[in-house]
Amino acid sequence: MDGVSTPPRVVARRMAAPDVDRVVAIEAAAFTSPWRADTFLTLLERPGAELWVLDDPDEGVVGYAVVWCILDQGELANIAVVDTHRGRGYGTYLLTRVIDIARERGVEALYLEVRVSNTGAAELYRRFGFEQVGVRRNYYDAPREDAVVMVLRMS
């Protein structure tokens, strides 16, 4: 997406083990079925996983994203920004960064699932060129809800 600038003072960098407690807190606030710390720690060791954080020099980690990259396909597994930083370009910046990373790793199609009710996130993804390609019935728990499957074709 052209014209995306870095939010003031924030730095995108690879997630490290000391970041995991903060990432888990962001995850718990953003999702009804959050991943646990051991999930993130295990993923840090996987060659196909890209885990990135947004680091604010005053506030620490304020967002994160997890992308799997396997051969020419990828999946945006999780992305979240703390409530206080939403609507200020942080999510857009982070999504731009992980799309660039996937592209650098040779990904030609990047997939994701998003709750049917999460219209704000779905609209953000559409602005980046993601298209709906399916629906996974009853994909989410707490509450039970369908997922819209979207793909960004990068080739």
Domains of the chain, by residue range, sit at 11-153
pLDDT digits (tens, 9 = 90+) for 75-108: 999 999 999 888 888 999 999 999 999 999 999 9
User: Can 123 be counted among the known catalytic residues?
Assistant: no
Q: How does residue 4 score in pLDDT terms, banded at 50, 70 and 90?
A: low
Q: Give pLDDT, residue 2.
A: 47
Q: Give pLDDT, residue 92.
A: 92
CA–CA dist 70, 82 (Å, integer): 28
Contact 43, 37 (CB under 8 A): no
152 CB contacts (<8 Å, ≥6 apart)?
99, 109, 110, 125, 128, 129, 130, 131
- Set 108, 113, 139, 145: catalytic member: 113
- Set 125, 131, 140, 145: catalytic member: 125
Query: Residue 105 is encoded by which pair of tokens?
Result: 């790793």
User: Can 45 be counted among the known catalytic residues?
Assistant: no
DSSP string covering 26-86: HHHHH-SSPPPHHHHHHHTT-TTEEEEEEEETTTEEEEEEEEEEETTEEEEEEEEE-GGGT
What does the pLDDT average to over 35-57?
Answer: 96
Q: Please name the fold of domain 11-153.
A: Aminopeptidase (3.40.630)
Nearest 5°: the CA angle 86, 45, 65 is: 10
SS3 call for 91: helix
What's the predicted TM-score (pTM) here?
0.90
What does the pLDDT average to over 136-154?
Answer: 95
Nearest 5°: the CA angle 54, 154, 43 is: 45
